[in-house]
Amino acid sequence: MLKYSFKRILYMIPVTIAVIFIVYLIMYLTPGDPVALLLGADATPELIVETRAKLGISDPFFVQFGRYLWNLLHGDFGMSWYTGNPVSERLFAAIPYTVKLSLGAMLVALIISVPFGVIAAVKRNTIADYAISVFAMIGVSAPTFWVGTMLILLFALEWRVLPSAFDGTWKSYLLPTITQGFNMLASIVRTQRSSMLEVLSSDYIRTARAKGVSHFSATYKHALRNAVLPSITVAGLDFSLLVGGSVAIETVFAIPGVGRLMIDNIKLHDTPTVIGCMVFVSVMVSIINLLVDILYGLIDPRIKAQYLKGNNNDTRKNKKKEGKPGTANMEKVPEE
């Protein structure tokens, strides 16, 4: 297990460097002269040359990229071309909002979808099951920015119970987290339903029922405990999508998070800030995926046992191979 974790961490290094390279290359190719934007139309040629040299944008691409990578290794994301402040400062000011939003959304999604998944499995092929399926389908199909707008319309403008724009209070986190969580519902409900169905038809549940354990206890004590792990895994994997997909939500609710910082600065041609945001989000996604993989192995004793036997090298793949019908084997429609 330790060897596998170490290998995964080592493997992350070249992937991260390649991600930074791609992001840097795209932003390098973006048209528009930042110096002209910074200095305005009446700048003297001398000042333009001096500023270009100061920003280091006259150097060849690989020199610039090498310098950026070296600085990044020292925790330096560069200076914002627009504000003149360190990008890391702006980024670290925005990160807590995005992380709180994503964690809140995951919590909302788990609180709603695990019971829904259980109900859908227990009341299989009934109206309740179909209604939950439709609800989950709407969740995955409705654009988050539209759901957010509708919630603002109802809760903020019509009923006036919650603020329409973000003001840092817990109340202003409610609508964005519900919107984001609603979008995550479908995958968790489906996973929970299929894993619950599988567990409910297993021998040990039949044995428990034969021994006289009540239906409630067999379902909610014995089965649920064993069926909830895949849902947590899916939620963990979706967490990376949440971080990446926060752009629209942060725009709708005016949350000063990483997504909004990125969009605002793309429009301002502030390349260092945009690269900083992209690199941060991509590295976060890689780290979360790695953690989910490792944690999965640690939590599930069956997976851990497989490692001890030394016959495998990918936890998620193995879990999927165990044959969960439905979402565990499904390719998810990414919510972005």
> For other proteins, what does the binding mask look like between residues 272 and 311, x meaning CB under 8 A?
--x---x--xx--xx-------------------------
Residue 124 beta carbon to other proteins: minimum distance, rounded to whole angstroms: 10
> For other proteins, what does the binding mask look like between residues 182 and 201, x meaning CB under 8 A?
---------------x----
Residue 307 beta carbon to other proteins: minimum distance, rounded to whole angstroms: 22
Near other proteins in 122-161, by CB under 8 A? 137-138, 140-146, 149-150, 152-153, 157
Near other proteins in 194-233, by CB under 8 A? 197
> For other proteins, what does the binding mask look like between residues 3 and 42, x meaning CB under 8 A?
-----------xxx-xx--xx--xx-xxx-----------
* Sign for the pseudo-dihedral over CA of 165, 169, 170, 173: positive
CB 257, CB 247: distance < 8 Å: no
Token readout for 41 is: 């139309």
Alpha helix (H) ranges present in the chain?
2-29, 34-39, 45-55, 61-73, 87-122, 127-141, 144-151, 170-200, 203-210, 215-217, 224-227, 229-244, 246-252, 258-267, 271-299, 301-309, 315-321
Residue 89 beta carbon to other proteins: minimum distance, rounded to whole angstroms: 21
CB 260, CB 71: distance < 8 Å: no
Q: CA–CA separation, 20 vs 279, rounded Å?
A: 6
Token readout for 142 is: 């409705």
- For position 248 contacting other proteins by CB under 8 A, the verdict is yes
Phi then psi for residue 86, to 5 deg, are -60, 140
Measured CA angle at 19 (ends 13, 21), to 5 deg: 105
**Residue (173 or 239) nearer to other proteins, CB:** 239
Write the CB contacts of 103 (distance below 8 Å, at least 6 apart in sequence): none
Residue 162 beta carbon to other proteins: minimum distance, rounded to whole angstroms: 15
> How many residues at the interface with other proteins, by CB under 8 A?
53
Q: Interface with other proteins by CB under 8 A: which range of 50-58, 105-113, 261-269, 297-305?
A: 261-269
Q: CA–CA separation, 146 vs 107, rounded Å?
A: 21
Applying CB under 8 A, the residues found at the interface with other proteins are: 14-16, 18-19, 22-23, 26-27, 29-31, 137-138, 140-146, 149-150, 152-153, 157, 197, 240-241, 243-245, 247-248, 251, 262-263, 266-267, 274, 278, 281-282, 285-286, 325-326, 330-331, 333-336
